[in-house]
Chains A and B, each alone.
Chain A
Amino acid sequence: MTTSTPPSASGTTEVVLEADGLTKHFPVRKRGRELLSRTARSVRAVEDVTLRLHRGRVTALVGESGSGKSTVARLLAQLYPQTAGSIRLRGEPVDAKGGRRFRAYSKRVQMIFQDPFASLNPVHTVRYHLTRALKIHGNAGKTPQELEEALAHLLTRVQLTPPERYVDKFPHELSGGQRQRVAIARALGADPEVLLADEPVSMLDVSIRLGVLNLLRDLKERLHLAILYITHDIASARYFADETFVMYAGRVVEGGDSETVTQRPAHPYTQLLIDSAPDPDRPAAQEKDGGTGEPPSLINPPTGCRFNPRCPYAMEVCARKVPPRFAIGDGDGHFAACWLYDAGLSDADKVKLRPVEGVS
């Protein structure tokens, strides 16, 4: 197998799941004086996110902790109702709040949770977990033998072989990597078209991570699943994803082909992220002075571009208007939501908010 698969080479670009203007606000309880005011307070966890998942492609969603990645995944899995925006599965609008429709939807879109230690019920065996997934979605066959075969098939798919050895084990008897595989097998039990993987490896040891990621890649290639790979490790996105989207404070700030985004980051936040990632090849002395400050509050997010208070290049316009996506033009669909890439800004808009140098 090769080290990378150019996105264009993956053949198909058929869109399976797409989200348009996806928005999620979590209401926060009012307190004290606010009881009198009429404005409702909420955590604006996800704001106007648009993305597409393609058949047989891995799309990475990166961004720091709390930027809304998991929320996007849960919205796509319909575990939360969205505040605004639409989700379309194979072009059809999705509305799967209730029981039966949710089931039908979950058969096609499955989610893998972040923590393999927490996402399997400690009191149930592997068999129970997988059987349920199969049964719910009618993949269990009719006879016990068929079920047994289906189980074996699932376990083999996630390379837990021989299946007999794992099928009757309890989660605590499995290693982290094995558990994560069981979680993946469970998701596959529904025979989905889309797999939403929420930080599937962040809880795993370095030596085990690779195995799980390779497995995901293998699934993509063999079963042509559309996979959303959520992570905060941008380096792993470079290695495993065809496309990468970067989120900051609930908004997608940059996206495009993974190699381009990681090697030629356009948005100042992506640049900061990449500069901050540990890099053994870079001598400590060579380090640039990176950005400072903390991620913004999502209850009262900054106006305009949410990164503007930390951005070394912030301009007048950044604090006023939310930047739309600007195509960068150096790679496959590479875009950034940043005013720096708007050619048509007036001079007034371009006035710097702060002196560029000497940021402390």
Chain B
Amino acid sequence: MTVVPTTGTATPVAAPVKRRRLRFVANPKATVGLVILGFFALVAVIGPWIAPYDPSGRSNDLLQGPSAAHWFGTTHLGQDIFSQVLVGTRSVMVVGFVAGIVATILSILVGVTSGYLAGAGSEVLSALSNVFLVLPALPLMIIITSTLPETGTLTIALVIGLTSWAWGARVLRAQTLSLRGRDYVEAARATGEKSSRIILFEILPNLTAVIASGFVGTVIFAVTLEITLAFIGIGAGGDWNWGTVLYWAQSQQALAQGAWWWFVPAGLAIALLGTALSLVNFGIDEFVSPRLRGGGKTNVKTADGHTVRMRVGFTPVLATKARSEGRETP
């Protein structure tokens, strides 16, 4: 019997994980989403500095339409709506991201632990997240925020974060349950790894995409919630955000007064941010599950110039004759 060494001819596979990570950014949807998100993040940082006016500052231009001086027009107090939207971006982004981070951390703690541990502890945690899942978010938030004495941006963010982790926890638990049975987790255990290390180093890294998409989902949720709360008048008191702008527009019956400019910019900003976040999420989804990838071209040109669509069950045929350069048939 011969021991055949398999070394030497191993085909080196080119780029390491780097390329895999980059592929996410290469996804056009994710790119567009990230660019828009970056734009909003930038505005969140520099918004208050570049705002042409104090967003609460009154002027004598009462309720004026968009003009060179006031790009988005003014309010009934002569406040500059453009400045309000610019300054309001920070609160929106802070709430979105702080809530996202808090909820994500909680969902990881609850979800992964309850997924990995077996037995009563796991059941309790799972029941806990189910209870939180059953509690309706918006009404709960209305109650909680309307009862907190101080509802600054950060408070709102924390409250949203503390109440919206359940969905993520449920998804993570399911994922962890499936990962727990994976051979590499068992193998790590057989090697003698501690449970904590298994959770942190073997399971968590493999949940990155799920966590990321949960994070983005929570950000969308938190942003919408903050704006909604502000719109019905129980959001962050003193801070400007897009919801506050809309709240003022609504309480001053802007649309009835014909002051469309008071409503439209903030609404579009919300929709745009929401879209950007959704796009990032699609990007993550497609990254995780390659089947969803649009995969660039799906339409193929055949040799005789027709266009056919790739579809399951009917493989396109580009040319029905054997290729000439293949082999000559004498």
A contact residues vs B (CB 8 Å cutoff): 1-4, 77, 79, 99, 102-103, 106-107, 110-111, 113-115, 118-124, 132-133, 136-137, 159-161, 165, 168-170, 172-175, 177-178, 183, 186-187, 189-190, 208, 210-211, 214-215, 217-218
Contact = CB atoms under 8 A, between A and B. Distances in A.
A119 to B, nearest CB: 4
Given A136-B192, A178-B6, A1 B1 contact: yes
Given A111-B190, A137-B192, 13 more contacts: A106-B190, A107-B192, A111-B187, A122-B184, A123-B208, A132-B193, A136-B192, A159-B7, A165-B12, A174-B13, A175-B10, A189-B191, A210-B4
B61 interface: no
A133 B201 CA distance: 14
A120 B184 contact: yes
Interface string B171-190: 00000000000111111111
A161 B191 contact: no
A208 B3 CA distance: 12
B16 A123 contact: no
A3 to B, nearest CB: 5
Nearest to A215: B3
Interface residues of B, number: 31
B192 A103 contact: yes
Nearest to A177: B6
A168 B16 CA distance: 9
A2 B187 contact: no
Interface of B: 1-7, 10-13, 16-17, 182-194, 201-202, 205-206, 208
Contact of A118 (B2, B4, B183, B193): B183
Contacts of A169: 13, 16
Contacts of A118: 182-184
Contacts of A103: 192
Given A118-B183, A121-B205, A123-B206, A159 B5 contact: yes
Nearest to A128: B201
Given A190-B192, A210-B4, A215-B3, A170 B183 contact: no
Contact of B3 (A1, A178, A190): A1
A223 to B, nearest CB: 14
A113 B187 contact: yes
B238 to A, nearest CB: 45
Nearest to A1: B1
Given A118-B182, A173-B16, A208-B6, A132 B191 contact: yes
B202 A79 contact: no
A211 B10 CA distance: 13
A1 B183 contact: no
User: Which 4 interchain pairs have the tightest Cβ spacing?
Assistant: A118-B183, A119-B183, A123-B205, A173-B13
Contact of A218 (B3, B12, B201): B3
Contacts of B187: 111, 113, 119-120, 183, 186
Contacts of A165: 10, 12
A189 B191 CA distance: 9
B212 to A, nearest CB: 14
7 contacts: A120-B184, A133-B191, A165-B10, A170-B17, A172-B13, A211-B3, A218-B3
B20 to A, nearest CB: 8
Nearest to B208: A123
Given A159-B7, A173-B16, A177-B6, A115 B192 contact: no
Contacts of B10: 165, 174-175, 178
A211 B4 contact: yes
A214 B182 contact: no
A220 to B, nearest CB: 12
A2 B1 contact: yes
Contacts of A215: 3
Contacts of A174: 10, 13
B11 to A, nearest CB: 8
Contact of B6 (A110, A137, A159, A187): A159
B119 to A, nearest CB: 13
A219 to B, nearest CB: 11
Nearest to A114: B183
A212 to B, nearest CB: 9
B2 to A, nearest CB: 6
Given A118-B183, A173-B13, A190-B191, A1 B202 contact: no
Nearest to B194: A99
Contacts of B5: 159, 211
A11 B189 CA distance: 34
A261 to B, nearest CB: 20
Given A3-B1, A118-B184, A186 B191 contact: yes
Greatest chain B CB density within 10 A among A2, A103, A114, A123 is at A123
B209 to A, nearest CB: 11
B3 A136 contact: no
A217 B183 CA distance: 24
Nearest to B201: A124
A115 to B, nearest CB: 6
B16 A170 contact: yes
Given A211-B6, A214-B3, A214-B4, A119 B191 contact: no
B293 to A, nearest CB: 18
Nearest to A102: B192
A30 B192 CA distance: 33
Contact of A121 (B13, B16, B17, B202): B202
A206 to B, nearest CB: 13
Contacts of B7: 159-161
A296 B190 CA distance: 30
A210 B182 CA distance: 26
